[in-house]
Amino acid sequence: MEVRGIWLTTTDSRVLYSRATIAEAMDFLADTGFNVVFPVVWNKGVTLYKSQVMSQKFGVEIDFYVRGRDPLAEVIEEAHRVGLKVIPWFEYGFASSYQQNGGRILNQKPNWSAINSQGGMVVKNGFEWMNAFDSEVQDFIMSLILEVVRKYNIDGVQGDDRLPALPSEGGYDQQTVQRYVKEFGRQPPLHHKDSQWLQWRANILTDFLARIKREVKAIKPNLIVSMSPSVYSWGLNEYLQDYIAWIDRDLVDMIHPQLYRRNFWSYKGLVDQLVDVQFRDWQLPKLSPGVLIKVGSYRISADELLKSIDYNRHRGVKGEVLFFYEGLRENNDELAKALRRGPYATPARL
């Protein structure tokens, strides 16, 4: 088994905006040697599929830009036609909006806001957040995931650096504070990175991931539960993501820590940390790191990409997921051609 994955975004990409571009992209990926795609289905507080949950709760069935279509259904059909697996990616997770003061969701459900130690809405790097510890919010995210699981012929589901996650500045809402006081007989520390307070909140999110796995598998036992968290322990300190606990509790089938570095030696150092410190031998088959190939004006060189993949295999890491599709197409498909000639020349099953 070898994971050769790619994320399909709506940011800086038009792939999902027509059936024709989806079909062309799936042909291209299959020809290049990929075996799994991760199409975004939840971002900017809207879905990229026809959602009854969103329609009933917020009066909007699907992202405005794709109204009248169902991009997820189209991706599944075109991907399966050429032998690619499809694992929908819930990109926004517990985030509600970006630089919109909570957007549609928190406008309609202000009590769903994550709260910081000053009593304000949690905002980090421009993103406004729902309260990931609130049972209603958890039920809402769960209902989106299960809606996709029930309605579509998918191969798995994926969370990322926002699912399950919450900026560590959060957790100061009345409900969570009362829960903490009941357990420990004292107020939570105002220092949001206090190690015990960090771990306690991270454990709540780990339990939510356990629920995701349990409820997804109850409907379709063969579906893959895939997660792409921020790197440890930065992800724990900043976003309460304890993926060491996730793998130790066997809560994921595949995990793709986002090793988003812009040179090979930085990437190599993170792979060494994963293999030598964080993962045990029996857990390694689940690991296929996230590799940054494009963001903004940056694009990885073909040489650095091939070195990264080669180093993965050298360390016993059987795959990777690349962020994101458009990087393959730049400079006359340079990166795709390098993969096709090199490590992806022979087909691999997922």
- Packing angle of the helix pair 195-219, 174-184 (nearest 10 deg): 110
CA distance 130 to 110: 9
CA distance 135 to 282: 34
Q: Which residues is 86 bridged to in the sheet?
A: 37
Q: Give the Cβ contact number of residue 52 at 10 Å.
A: 11
CA distance 71 to 19: 7
Q: Phi and psi dihedrals of 314, rounded to 5? A: -60, -35
Furthest C-alpha separation in the chain? 62
Question: Average pLDDT, whole number, for the chain?
Answer: 98
Please report the pLDDT score of residue 241 as a whole number.
99
* Confidence tier at 1 by pLDDT (50, 70, 90): confident
169-183: pLDDT as tens digits: 999 999 999 999 999
* Confidence tier at 312 by pLDDT (50, 70, 90): very high
Q: How far is CA 164 from CA 141, 209, 272, in A?
A: 10, 7, 25
* Confidence tier at 350 by pLDDT (50, 70, 90): confident
Sort 118 into a burial class: Cβ within 10 Å, 0-12 / 13-18 / 19+.
exposed
Angle formed at CA 255 by CA 207 and CA 324, multiple of 5 degrees: 125
Element (H, E) at 304: helix 302-314
Q: What is the mean pLDDT of residues 131-141?
A: 98
273-293: pLDDT as tens digits: 999 999 999 999 999 999 999
